[in-house]
């Protein structure tokens, strides 16, 4: 599967990212069994249609992951495109016999492509945006008297000399001391290496965990809806008014509505909750 020839939804430069998101949201999320069947078709038979379906069903995941790198000032469309390349590489190397979902395997390849793109396009000169920062950037190396980190006194002296704060001097010193990270793995798009080991720091939750949580929440919501349908109308209405509305009804309000005591409403509520738990667990 060549990563540069697969027919994917268009994300040309300048195209509205929202329009792209609307397009890819139409592709269904695969169940574990559907994903395994498609992965086996591609793994054993080199069925490109199966590979394409695997890629299309995970484009939303790539877009979600790309949003966590917006802070680098690069075009969102470019980050998504690079992530899509990583997804296709992951599909190409995915072994359905390992026993993990594709998203857990692909997240490393997607991140790798996005990180490599960021490192190619985000340079240290971009940290100097104001006049004071540019002055500090170009004078700090000359102002340092040794290779070691500046002492507090040296930091204050440089700050006074350049007309900036001591905090800004320390921050710029850290940026100047930083260097690009090396990437292990492939040398070209078609190399069969391993995913890069080093990644840019990200304070966001692992997208694989997010997808797993969303799947679990969707499953719970579906079970809850099915369980509610199995209740009698009165019990269902009591639970909906007591738990599922913003302006929750009180026991006394429901007692007046049904012409029974508040204690009876409480009993009906507890019995309905027990039935829900039993139905959801089943």
Task: Report the pLDDT value the prediction gives residue 192, as an integer from 0 to 100.
Answer: 43
pLDDT at 191 over 50: no
Looking at residues 55-80, what average pLDDT do you find? 86
The pLDDT tens digits for 192-228 are 444 444 444 444 555 555 656 666 677 777 788 888 8
pLDDT digits (tens, 9 = 90+) for 76-95: 888 999 999 999 999 999 99
pLDDT confidence bin for 265, thresholds 50/70/90: very high
Higher pLDDT, 118 or 207: 118
Quick check: 181 pLDDT over 60? no
DSSP characters for the chain? --TTTS------TT--HHHHHHHHTTSPPPPHHHHHHHHHHHHHH--HHHHHHHHHTTHHHHHHHHHTTGGG---HHHHHHHHHHHHHHHHHH--TTS-S-HHHHHHHHHHHHHHHHHHHH--GGGG--SHHHHHHHHHHHHH-SSSSPPPHHHHHHHHHHHTS-HHHHHHHHHHHH--PPP--S-SSTT------S------SPPHHHHHHHHHHHHHHHHHHHHHHHTS-HHHHHHHHHHHSSSSPPPHHHHHHHHTS-HHHHHHHHHHHHHHHHHHHH-
């Amino acid at each position: 599967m060549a990563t540069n020839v697969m027919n994917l939804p268009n994300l040309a430069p300048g195209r509205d990212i929202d329009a792209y998101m609307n397009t890819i949201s139409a592709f269904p999320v695969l169940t574990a069994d559907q994903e395994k069947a498609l992965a086996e078709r591609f793994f054993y038979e080199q069925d490109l249609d199966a590979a394409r379906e695997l890629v299309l069903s995970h484009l939303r995941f790539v877009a979600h992951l790309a949003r966590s790198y917006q802070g680098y000032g690069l075009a969102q469309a470019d980050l998504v495109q690079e992530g899509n390349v990583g997804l296709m590489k992951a599909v190409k190397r995915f072994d359905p016999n390992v026993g993990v979902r594709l998203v857990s395997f692909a997240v490393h390849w997607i991140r790798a492509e996005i990180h490599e793109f960021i490192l190619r396009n985000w340079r240290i000169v971009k940290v100097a945006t104001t006049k004071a920062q540019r002055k500090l950037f170009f004078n700090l190396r000359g102002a340092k008297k040794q290779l070691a980190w500046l002492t507090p006194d040296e930091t204050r002296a440089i700050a006074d000399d350049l007309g900036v704060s001591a905090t800004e001097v320390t921050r710029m010193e850290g940026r100047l001391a930083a260097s690009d990270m090396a990437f292990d793995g492939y040398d070209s798009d078609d190399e069969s290496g391993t995913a890069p080991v080093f990644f840019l720091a990200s304070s966001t939750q692992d997208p694989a965990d997010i997808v797993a949580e969303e799947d679990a929440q969707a499953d719970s919501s579906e079970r809850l809806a099915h369980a509610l349908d199995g209740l009698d109308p009165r019990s269902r209405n009591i639970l909906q008014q007591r738990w599922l509305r913003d302006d929750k009804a009180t026991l006394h309000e429901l007692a007046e509505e049904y012409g029974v005591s508040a204690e009876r409403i409480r009993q009906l509520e507890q019995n309905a909750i027990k039935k829900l738990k039993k139905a959801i667990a089943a």
